[in-house]
């Protein structure tokens, strides 16, 4: 459990990022590659990511360089997700390259004590090594994250719109109350469900405020910097507050208000489209035939709740901002 302590000054300085943060999405996507948890929600991305990594000849780089520095564990180095470049890939990578060697060494040492660091990680104290590493990050981002920029931006805009309703009705505290079960506002503390392997801790904002960063690739537990002296940032999952187990998915996990409005099958189809789904995946999620899933997808598209695009031979259904907002609002009603 992470407990974030707010003062009145902190509430006044709390904000929501206007765009996805590329360096955090890099980290979160690598965590997705290391876990089967929530894999149903990223099924289409897994397929295309693996294909792109293979075609771009990045599989070895991913396996031997990137994943060891971004373990899905209690800790990975803070310098890999710079606090001064939220929302800007170029600035984020420049900040990584500009990290002082002493800080790199300190954080690699923490990684080594926590889960083990690769033997070569200490070489990142050299500027040329960090520049080479930056090139790998750019290549990885271009291959597996850039194709989802438009979809991710639409979902963040829908999230911001939903939270703004809470802001208008109850101020910043009203907004914080609408963040979901992983983030529980108990004035003056925001209680954050943290990875089980991480120790409980308190973060006192001290008038600095908090930047909330919705993330497409984060699943489950939100993430904050390990170093409390860094500008406070909290990265949390978009629309993934409650999902099925790794083995199940579909109509059983959609919210009752959504079922009442759309019907069980169409509600399951909308939920399946929350992170992108083919017609076959919608059929599997809703427990119907492919032809029936296609008809339900058409109805949702006609209602402007989803949009359909073609990825090669595959037809992919994703949420529009209106669909994301509806799904987010339904989740909020069930809390």
> How high is the pLDDT of residue 252?
41
Give phi and psi for 76, each to the nearest 5: -140, 155
Cα separation, 88 vs 319, in Å, equals: 24
Residue 242 is assigned to a structural domain of this protein: no
Measured over the CA atoms of residue 112, residue 92, residue 156 and residue 332, the dihedral's sign is positive
Are 89 and 132 in the same domain?
Answer: yes
Are 281 and 173 in the same domain?
Answer: no
> How high is the pLDDT of residue 206?
95
Cα separation, 170 vs 163, in Å, equals: 10
Count of domains for the chain: 3
Give phi and psi for 142, each to the nearest 5: -60, -35
Give phi and psi for 293, each to the nearest 5: -60, -40
Q: From 115, 149, 183, give the residue that closes a domain.
A: 149
Half-sphere exposure of 110 (CA within 13 A, CB side): 15
Written as six digits, the tokens of 26 are 């890099």
Are 194 and 168 in the same domain?
Answer: yes
> How high is the pLDDT of residue 37?
78
Are 9 and 48 in the same domain?
Answer: no
Domain residue limits at 45: 22-149
The string of DSSP codes covering 180-197 is -TTEEEETTEEEE---TT
Residue 284 is assigned to a structural domain of this protein: yes
Cα separation, 149 vs 196, in Å, equals: 30
Give phi and psi for 83, each to the nearest 5: -80, -15
> How high is the pLDDT of residue 334?
36
Are 13 and 156 in the same domain?
Answer: yes
Give phi and psi for 308, each to the nearest 5: -120, 130
Are 165 and 74 in the same domain?
Answer: no
Cα separation, 90 vs 149, in Å, equals: 15
Contact (Cβ atoms closer than 8 angstroms) between residue 105 and residue 125: yes
Other beta carbons within 10 Å of 74: 14
Mean pLDDT by 10 residues, the chain (335 residues): 95 91 95 84 85 95 96 93 84 96 97 94 96 97 91 77 79 87 90 78 96 88 91 82 37 63 89 79 85 92 87 74 78 44
Residue 171 is assigned to a structural domain of this protein: yes
Residue 119 is assigned to a structural domain of this protein: yes
> How high is the pLDDT of residue 331?
59
Are 263 and 299 in the same domain?
Answer: yes
> How high is the pLDDT of residue 316?
80
Are 27 and 138 in the same domain?
Answer: yes
pTM, two decimals, is 0.73
Are 162 and 217 in the same domain?
Answer: yes
Are 29 and 45 in the same domain?
Answer: yes
């Amino acid at each position: 459990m992470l407990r974030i302590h707010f003062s009145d000054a902190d509430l006044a300085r709390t904000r929501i990022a206007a765009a996805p943060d590329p360096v955090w999405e890099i980290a979160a996507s690598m965590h997705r590659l290391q876990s089967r948890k929530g894999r149903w929600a990223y099924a289409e991305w897994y397929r295309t990511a693996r294909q792109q990594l293979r075609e771009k000849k990045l599989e070895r780089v991913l396996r031997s360089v990137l994943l060891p520095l971004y373990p899905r564990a209690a800790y990975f180095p803070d310098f890999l997700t710079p606090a001064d470049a939220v929302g800007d890939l170029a600035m984020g990578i420049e900040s990584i390259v500009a990290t002082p060697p002493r800080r790199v060494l300190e954080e690699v040492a923490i990684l080594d004590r926590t889960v083990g660091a690769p033997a070569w990680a200490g070489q990142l104290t050299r500027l040329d090594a960090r520049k080479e590493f930056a090139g790998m990050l750019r290549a990885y981002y271009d291959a597996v994250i850039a194709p989802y920029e438009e979809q991710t931006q639409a979902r963040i805009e829908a999230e911001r719109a939903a939270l703004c309703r809470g802001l208008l009705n109850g101020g910043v505290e009203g907004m914080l109350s609408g963040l979901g079960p992983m983030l529980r506002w108990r004035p003056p503390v925001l209680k954050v469900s943290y990875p089980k392997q991480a120790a409980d801790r308190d973060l006192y904002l001290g008038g600095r405020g908090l930047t909330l960063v919705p993330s497409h690739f984060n699943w489950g537990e939100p993430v904050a910097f390990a170093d409390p002296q860094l500008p406070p940032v909290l990265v949390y999952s978009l629309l993934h507050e409650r999902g099925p187990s790794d083995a199940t998915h579909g109509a059983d996990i959609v919210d009752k208000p959504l079922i009442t409005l759309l019907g069980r099958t169409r509600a399951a189809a909308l939920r399946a489209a929350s992170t992108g789904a083919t017609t076959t995946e919608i059929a599997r999620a809703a427990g119907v035939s492919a032809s029936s899933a296609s008809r339900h997808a058409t109805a949702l598209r006609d209602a402007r709740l989803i949009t359909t695009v073609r990825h090669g031979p595959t037809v992919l259904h994703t949420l529009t901002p209106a669909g994301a907002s509806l799904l987010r609002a339904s989740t909020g009603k069930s809390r």
